[in-house]
Amino acid sequence: MPSQEIGLPIPNIPHAVSVTLPTWEATVGYEEGEEWVTSKMNSGYPRFFIHTTIKQLCQKLEEKYGRQGEKCMVFPSYKVAKRCREFIKNRSSSKVRVLQLSTPEPVNETEKSTKVGTSIGVVFFQEQDYALAKSYWQHSGEVLSSRMAEYIVRELFIGPRSITKLELQAQKIQSRSPSILASRRSSGAGSNNVEDVEKEFNTFIEQKYGRVLDLKFCKEAKRALRRRICGKVDKSRNQIEEIEKSRRGKHLSELDVYLFPSGMASIFYAHYALLNIGPAKKSVCFGFPYVDTLNILKKFGPGVEFLGLGDDESLQNLETQLAQGLDIMALFCECPSNPLLKTPNLKKIRELADQYDFVVVVDETVGNFLNIHVLPYADMVASSLTKVFSGDSNVMAGSLVLNPLSKHYQKLKQFFNNDYEDLFWAEDALWLERNSRDFVERVHKIDDTSARVVQLLESNPKIAQVYYPSSSPTKKYYDEIKNPSGGYGGLISFLFKKPEDAVKFFNAVDLHKGPSLGTNFTLACPYAVLAHYQELDEIEQWGVDRNLIRISIGLEDPDDLLQVLNNALE
């Protein structure tokens, strides 16, 4: 049952991605830093809330390597730490230094199951600059995984623990994972019969020993993920037929798919790459986006032209400015947008990009590649794999896909070949590979349930407006890119005619309530209050009402979910 306890992780596990904010008042209290809420917040969304294990790691590093008055922030590589140092130094006159630490490589075959040689970058700064370091962590998304932090603490400060016989049995079962075996077969690494072990693997690893995964299969897991993302068949059950129907394109290779520690990191790196492959220019943010996409474009590089309405008039305005000499590096947009579910006119954007030579970066997280096909109109496609691709709300991840048919492909590919680091932690890859095996089946169920929820909301006299791709004025643009078997996604926003009804409904509805979306359970939040509390007046000009409620539909029985919503509406 959904928890109503402030600060409880959603789900209630050590590496949960969401956190319970069960009432409108609790959400406001969290944003205002009120003690009755903040004192109970033992977890949170990882880019905004530093995980307890990461705090412990930082404390140990400060005690061992810190100087008088210094605090530190840990990142998954030395290069990322240097980028954070540069961010701080551009905004502060205080001294900032970077330390690199590494864990030992495995020395034998047995150790390969439990050890990975890896490095971290530690940024030391004066205490007054902590907010700047935290800002880089949040905006860039180049965060240290809480699972990686556990590993680093154990390897650098505690020492390895012994592996039990039962855990070795779990690793043996994992070695027969169908997706990993398919990946190994396709690379010539071996072949086995996989049909009889998938159910055994899923239940045994998840319920018994999911936190002790066999690290030697990390590379195969990542390859299986890249193949899944680019639409290649990986022999996982529920994947073959449907992914074949919605392939990204015959020219796309798994080598054009890059994994990141968060969805925001993929957007950040797309922008970072563009700043480094040519003259740094302003970018356009088209449509009202998730908050940190705009922050990246504002705070890194020459700045941004923000066309927050993202409508036809905005696109006409952009075309006029381009004809008059506006010179831009790129256009960033979401498809559809979060939280208003608007779909940009990607065909027209592509025409303008070709005519005026700028790059198009599309964030497809809300739509997802099973529902929509945006690659023909984009040079790079970003996605948060934390969301519906994973579903289980227990791992952070992102991807960035390069379009091999883009005229910018060669420059981008060369930069990625030289500069890209795989920062996606081994254990997270193993979790995500497992989580995403039933991605296709889950997406179709969520799409079907969402259509029924939209119908319910639109027929209720208390509701003033429902935001959803199928009922949006931009539906025609969504339909142009919708896959034949695709739906309209699982994200729905809506407004009540009376603002006080929004508060009553939210407090009454018996759902999980907190940040994130795309979870296997339905998740609600007062979106504007949660994401834009300090700028509620400003965002209204872009059509985002302060009383907006957003619901991400999960896998519950549709009739049960509709009854829960009806009860709250009544």
Q: DSSP string spanning 83-98?
A: HHHHHHHTT--S--EE
Class of 52-158 in CATH: alpha beta
Contact 338, 366 (CB under 8 A): yes
Output the pLDDT for position 207. 41
Output the pLDDT for position 251. 77
pLDDT at 247 over 70: no
pLDDT at 233 over 90: no
Output the pLDDT for position 198. 43
CA separation (Å) from 38 to 16, 26, 27, 525? 18, 9, 10, 17
Higher pLDDT, 246 or 529: 529
In 194-203, which positions are buried (b, 16+ CB within 10 angstroms) versus exposed (e)? Answer: beebbeebbe
Q: Categorize the per-residue pLDDT at 213 as very low, low, confident or very high, splitting at 50, 70 and 90.
A: confident
Mean pLDDT score across all residues of the chain? 90
Token pair for residue 504? 């009553």
Output the pLDDT for position 190. 44
Place of tokens 């919605």: 246
- Distance of alpha carbon 553 from alpha carbon 370, whole angstroms: 16
- Give the lowest-confidence range in 240-254, 259-273, 284-298, 532-546: 240-254
Token pair for residue 527? 């979106």
| Number of residues that this document lists for the chain | 570
User: Which of 303, 308, 224, 284 lies closest to 259, judged by CA?
Assistant: 224
User: Which of 128, 65, 150, 151 lies closest to 100, judged by CA?
Assistant: 65
Query: What's the topology of domain 227-238+251-435?
Result: Aspartate Aminotransferase; domain 2 (3.40.640)
DSSP state of 552: E
Higher pLDDT, 356 or 231: 356
Output the pLDDT for position 180. 52
- Distance of alpha carbon 115 from alpha carbon 122, whole angstroms: 21
- Distance of alpha carbon 257 from alpha carbon 349, whole angstroms: 23
- Give per-residue pLDDT as tens, 296-344: 999 999 999 999 999 999 999 999 999 999 999 999 999 999 999 999 9
- Give per-residue pLDDT as tens, 473-521: 999 999 999 999 999 999 999 999 999 999 999 999 999 999 999 999 9
- Distance of alpha carbon 201 from alpha carbon 199, whole angstroms: 5
Those residues with Cβ within 8 angstroms of residue 423's Cβ, 6 or more apart along the chain or in another chain: 76, 77, 80, 142, 260, 261, 265
Output the pLDDT for position 525. 97
Higher pLDDT, 43 or 381: 381
Average pLDDT over residues 188-209: 43
Higher pLDDT, 476 or 247: 476
Tell me the Ramachandran region of residue 19: left when phi exceeds 0, alpha when psi lies from -120 to 50, beta otherwise: beta
Q: What CATH superfamily is the domain 439-569?
A: Aspartate Aminotransferase, domain 1 (3.90.1150.10)
- Give per-residue pLDDT as tens, 8-32: 999 999 999 999 999 999 999 999 9
Output the pLDDT for position 235. 45
Output the pLDDT for position 231. 84
CATH 3.30.70, the chain: domain bounds: 52-158
Q: Categorize the per-residue pLDDT at 214 as very low, low, confident or very high, splitting at 50, 70 and 90.
A: confident
pLDDT at 234 over 70: no
Output the pLDDT for position 3. 84
Output the pLDDT for position 161. 54
CATH 3.90.1150.10, the chain: domain bounds: 439-569
CATH 3.40.640.10, the chain: domain bounds: 227-238+251-435
Q: Categorize the per-residue pLDDT at 208 as very low, low, confident or very high, splitting at 50, 70 and 90.
A: very low
- Give per-residue pLDDT as tens, 128-137: 999 999 999 9
